[in-house]
Structure 1
Amino acid sequence: MTTFALIGAALAQALPGMRELGRGGRASAAGPPPLSTAPEEKDTMKIQLTTDTGRFEATLNDSAAARDFAGLLPLTLTLSDYVGTEKVSDLPRKLSTAGSPSGAAATAGDLTYYAPWGNLAIFYKNFHHSDGLVKIGELASGIEQFARPDGDFEVTITAAD
């Protein structure tokens, strides 16, 4: 048996339909299913943020920091304004950032964790890339309520019903 014949025989056994092609026939329709090109769905978690002005929906992403944050819920925090761009509050403990990028830019509505300080930051304005910033989720509504300039306020964060 020649080298080409050996390779052909190996391919015929490994790839369905190749045997028919080798004999001048048509490839069999049978074989492994095609690879899916659909985007892979990630696990997310719906949460609620409740302030004195209402209840707002948000979604946590599937990052290690977001999963760690979810483990702290329910949680009541006092939010303070920081540089006219975000509301921040210290968390009871540091969160895991395993597998997270070294930093991120923020968009209005982003829920983030600022690893160097160990705090939650809710952005009501866009913000440039910052080392140590990890996006953990986003608000679905109510961002204007977090932009209010009237000082500190409490927020209670819970898992959505």
Structure 2
Amino acid sequence: MGPWPFPCADARPSPTAACCGPRCIASSRRPRLAYADHARWRCLTAAGVDLTRLTASGLGPVNLETTVRFRRELTEPADLVVSCTFLWEPGRKTWRVTQELNTGEGTLIAEVESVSGLLDLTRRRLVDDPAEQWRVNATHPELLGLPPLGADWPRA
């Protein structure tokens, strides 16, 4: 699934952040990586994942690797738009999230790629089918690039 297909109707520049779905507009006074982290969490909550309930069920998301490619210097405070695309491969214990940080005018500032997993907090091991766990725990899994429960999903 590609990037979020339309801008968030209620996303607007602010000193903190305004997010909806997998796009986030925020003030650039924060480090660039913090934008990417914040946008990923906002995507999960926009998809209807209750992180408190997820943790209580014994699961927790973990970031295993992050690569940041800086494309242009941002020398003054500006509003940034952060996209989020979740990439799933059946049979893998991890997934990738690709993100672009752009100025409000569309200038690419940085690209971020993360590899994440879903940790079984009791066993301290990655779960075998994280996509299925997200499908079960999200009310709108399509925002995470996943089909809703009951829809066909390729298995390894």
Fold match (TM-score > 0.5): no
TM-score by length of 2: 0.21
In the superposition, the TM-score normalised over structure 1's length comes to 0.21
